[in-house]
Amino acid sequence: MRNGSLLLSHDAWFVRLYVGGKQRAYRLGPKRQFMTKKEVRAAADRKMLELRMVDAGSAGRITLETFVRLWYLKLQAERLRPSTVDEYEGMFNRYIAGRNEAKRPLTEYKTHHVQALLGGIATDNELSRETLKHIKAFLSGVFRHAVAAGLREGNPVRDTLLPKSNKPTVTPGVYTLAQIDTILAALAGHPALRAAVAVGAYAGLRRSEIAGLHWSDYDAKEHTLTVQRTRWRNAINPPKSAASASWVPVIPKLAAILAEYQAKPGKRRYSVPRSENAVYDADAMFKVGLYDIGRSTIKPLITKHQVPWLGWHALRRGLASNLFELGCDDLTVMRILRHASVTVTRAHYIRVRDPKVEDAMARLNAALEIRQNE
């Protein structure tokens, strides 16, 4: 819990807070009232929200903007990954905060008010349909928490329609095998960056997983990399999901690049943002921040070779597409990328034409030609 701690005393749960420079304990209820610690935390969250509402004014006057700033984002920071919270906060500040529609009291919102808010955002910004979906989902989550906190009845986002997007959908970028070869050659004088890119391209790890690697996660004899943690800026977290916490085969080409990097890591210094000036573990595989270094360092180096920088995830999508194009089925690709569902792999990662589809249509054409010649 942020800004508060739980206390069990005299068979009752309390939440301890610092108010006005003094520590105070607020009773949540008898111990028998709560079945799990999760229920106690929820009650503590409601109590803290109640106290914040007193500071901000009556609950009936609390606006959407105030609710998000005072409580929703703080609560999500305790429950979600830092990168997700950062995305939420950025979305809120960029598209919602400051708008007249966001200054309406929570209790007054009806579906048509949220529809007007979404419509205004779509009109004032050139956004893709996917981004508009994310904004709608964010608002739905905000109101769902407001309902759970007893601040209003019903979620007004549920029946809203997604505004029309005038921005064409952009297909996410992927790297071909030839482009990866060019990138690795361009990074020959930067062992750490070359090794990090190779791990993304040949093992399919996410940027946060690459940043969180330790040398102890690499088994050179068994030819595997095991994902055990992620690092986003200064935050160290467990893997994204149970499926993500697994091992990945290391092909000989990647093993050679890692061996070269381990033997000669290089002394080149990179400009690392203050947000990434973490104290790295001695066993950390990469002691350079990967969050912004793609745009600041890798992009200028590879642009000289006519290869664009499409982001770290383009390496992961590239592995999926390259494997599929080489004849691997989507279930195998799913296991290599450590997705929980093959639907995600098919919909968002495989960006090449299916050879089986091409073969099926070629057979159809051959059958039609035979019938025509009979």
Q: Compute the radius of gyration of the chain from its Cα atoms.
A: 26
State mean pLDDT over 290-296.
86
Q: What is the pLDDT of residue 278?
A: 53
CA distance 206 to 212: 10
Q: How confident is the model at residue 87 (pLDDT cuts 50, 70, 90)?
A: very high
> Sheet of 218-219: strands edge to edge?
218-219, 224-226, 247-249
Give the three-state DSSP class for 325. Answer: helix
Q: How confident is the model at residue 20 (pLDDT cuts 50, 70, 90)?
A: low
CA distance 29 to 41: 12
Q: What is the pLDDT of residue 71?
A: 80
Is the separation of the CB atoms in 290 and 300 below 8 Å?
no
**Per-residue tokens: 113:** 């008010």
Domains along the sequence of the chain with CATH:
57-148 (1.10.150.130), 177-348 (1.10.443.10)
Q: How distant, in Å, are the alpha carbons of 30, 137, 140 from that of 114? A: 39, 12, 10
CA distance 123 to 130: 15
The amino acid at residue 350 is I
Q: How confident is the model at residue 1 (pLDDT cuts 50, 70, 90)?
A: very low
171 alpha carbon, distance to own chain's centre: 18
Pairing type for strands 22-30 and 12-19 reads: antiparallel
Q: Closest Cα to residue 292, out of 280, 279, 275, 304?
A: 275
Give the three-state DSSP class for 263. Answer: helix
Give the three-state DSSP class for 224. Answer: strand
Stronger pLDDT, 369 or 182, i.e. the higher one: 182
Task: List all residues 6 or more positions away from 355 whose beta carbon is below 8 Å from its beta carbon.
Answer: 325, 327
CA distance 265 to 256: 13
349: pLDDT strictly greater than 80: yes
Half-sphere exposure of 241 (CA within 13 A, CB side): 8
Whose structure tokens read 């905000």? Answer: 142
Element spanning 232, H or E? strand 230-232
Q: What percent of the chain has pLDDT over 70?
A: 90
Stronger pLDDT, 25 or 21, i.e. the higher one: 25
Q: Closest Cα to residue 319, out of 305, 339, 301?
A: 339
Q: What is the pLDDT of residues 214-262, one digit of tens each?
A: 999 999 999 999 999 999 877 888 998 888 999 999 999 999 999 999 9
Strand pairing partners for 19? 22
CA 327, 331, 335, 339 torsion-angle sign: positive
CA distance 338 to 326: 19
- Mean pLDDT across the chain: 86
3: pLDDT strictly greater than 80: no
Q: Give the phi and the psi of residue 219 in degrees, each rounded to 5.
A: -105, 100
pTM for the model stands at 0.74
Q: What is the pLDDT of residues 43-64, one digit of tens each?
A: 887 777 666 655 555 555 788 9
122: pLDDT strictly greater than 50: yes
79: pLDDT strictly greater than 80: no
Helical residues (DSSP H) of the chain, grouped into ranges: 37-56, 64-67, 73-79, 82-91, 111-124, 129-148, 177-186, 191-203, 207-211, 252-263, 293, 299-303, 312-325, 330-337, 342-348, 355-373
334: pLDDT strictly greater than 90: yes
Element spanning 219, H or E? strand 218-219
Pairing type for strands 247-249 and 230-232 reads: unpaired
CA distance 108 to 113: 9
